[in-house]
Amino acid sequence: MDAPNACIFPYGTAGLATAAARIIAGGLVAVPTETVYGLAADATNGAAVAGIYAAKGRPSFNPLIVHVADLAAAERLAVFDADARALAVAFWPGPLTLVLPLRGNAGIAGLVTAGLDTIAIRVPRHRAMQALIAATDRPLAAPSANASGGISPTCAAHVAASLGAAVAVILDDGPTEAGIESTIVATTPALALLRPGPVTSEAITALLSRVPVAHAGGIVAPGQLASHYAPTKPLRLDATQAGANEWLIGFGAVAGDDTLSDDGDLIEAAARLFGALHRADASDRRMIAVAPVPHHGIGAAINDRLARAAHR
Ligand code: TXA
Ligand code: MG
């Protein structure tokens, strides 16, 4: 067993070799992407994938995203229609996940898709995740690297705090850039936004000249469960000042104990969101309040996460 404080390896040749060996042996590696840290395993190895569910305490019906090197690798696993290909060309590598029909001979472990005939797939941009895919030559299943229902990790210390000894290898390449999970889109049976994220609904509409519906019949991302993004403390939305025993997370003109962005920048707010929730959870105040955040652009994803965090 690795000592709990010996599991963080800086990104580099040695850390990458350790991480790749762990994946090929059927183990788990926490690795940064441009969105949040993922908990990766070989998507073709059912036992390895089961290890992800176990480490996270994740409900087995909640399927995982598969990360691959490029569009060609993705097309070996899933069937792309014209819309899916246009989205991939425009936004990959990057923070967009496509839910597409799974190819029968893809070789992906059944646990990855949790029994669905679709697969969630994305080509990440982050150098560490790309290097791990190249070094292992495997598609990598990776949910966010936190205990199920907890706050998504945006740095190696969050992973260690949430998963502890359940993950032996954490590849540390600093804080993540977007700080919020990828946008999830399905193109069949209808163009549908299953989870808002860094690739905005407006950008998708501009590319395809169609507005995605909120979700398509029968396809639901279980990550939309109301309690999915929950800090441990009660959370009050649209607060303009802190009440008794509240830790206020500010935005723009609303100053607080902390701020998502003091100049009202939504991209910065998304990147800081989970870190701010972690700090609020760790504070000595019993409750959390959050300033109003506009709903346009990536603000939709921020408000989506905040609404889930407030629901209890
Ligand atoms: O940014 C991200 O997407 C991060 C990084 C690590 O890539 N990953 C991530 O994974 O957020 P996770 O497991 O926390 O969220 C995956 C979401 C879940 O809501 C899951 O239900 C949904 O994707 N999902 C996976 N496969 C699906 C499918 N076939 N149909 C519908 N939803 C699916
Ligand atoms: Mg998650």
pLDDT at 148 over 90: no
226 domain-assigned: no
Cα of 244 vs centre of ligand 2, distance in Å, is 31
Q: What is the number of structural domains in the chain?
A: 2
Q: Which of 66-80, 227-241, 262-276 has the highest mean pLDDT?
A: 66-80
pLDDT tens digits, 58-114: 654 478 999 999 999 999 999 999 999 999 999 999 999 999 999 988 999 887 887
* Ligand 1 atom, smallest distance to 35 CA: 1
By CB atoms closer than 10 A (0-12, 13-18, 19+), residue 175 is: middle
Same domain, 131 and 19: yes
Same domain, 191 and 302: no
Least confident among 164-168, 200-204, 296-300: 296-300
Same domain, 60 and 110: yes
Our answer on whether the CB atom of 223 is closer than 6 Å to any ligand 1 atom is yes
pLDDT tens digits, 109-137: 887 887 778 999 999 999 999 999 999 99
More confident residue, 104 or 38: 38
Q: Can you tell me the distance from the alpha carbon of 281 to that of 34, in angstroms, rounded to the nearest whole number?
A: 24
Same domain, 97 and 172: yes
- Ligand that comes closest to the CA of residue 215: 1
Q: Can you tell me the distance from the alpha carbon of 135 to that of 153, in angstroms, rounded to the nearest whole number?
A: 24
Same domain, 184 and 49: yes
Q: Residue-wise over 264-276: b if at least 16 C-beta within 10 A, else e? A: bebbbbbbbbbbb
Cis peptide before 189 (omega within 30 of 0): yes
By CB atoms closer than 10 A (0-12, 13-18, 19+), residue 79 is: middle
Same domain, 259 and 199: no
Same domain, 130 and 270: no
Same domain, 155 and 241: no
- What CATH number should be reported for the domain holding residue 85? 3.90.870.10
Our answer on whether the CB atom of 181 is closer than 6 Å to any ligand 1 atom is yes
Same domain, 124 and 245: no
- The two tokens of residue 270 are 């998304």
Our answer on whether the CB atom of 174 is closer than 6 Å to any ligand 1 atom is no
Q: Can you tell me the distance from the alpha carbon of 163 to that of 111, in angstroms, rounded to the nearest whole number?
A: 20
pTM for the model = 0.83
230 domain-assigned: no
| Full domain range(s) for residue 44 | 7-214
pLDDT at 289 over 80: yes
Same domain, 242 and 147: no
Q: How far apart are the two ends of the chain, measured CA to CA in Å?
A: 37
* Ligand 1 atom, smallest distance to 197 CA: 1
Same domain, 58 and 153: yes
Pocket test for ligand 1, best of 58, 65, 274 (most atoms within 8 A of CB): 65
Q: At what angle do helices 266-282 and 156-163 cross, to 10 degrees?
A: 40
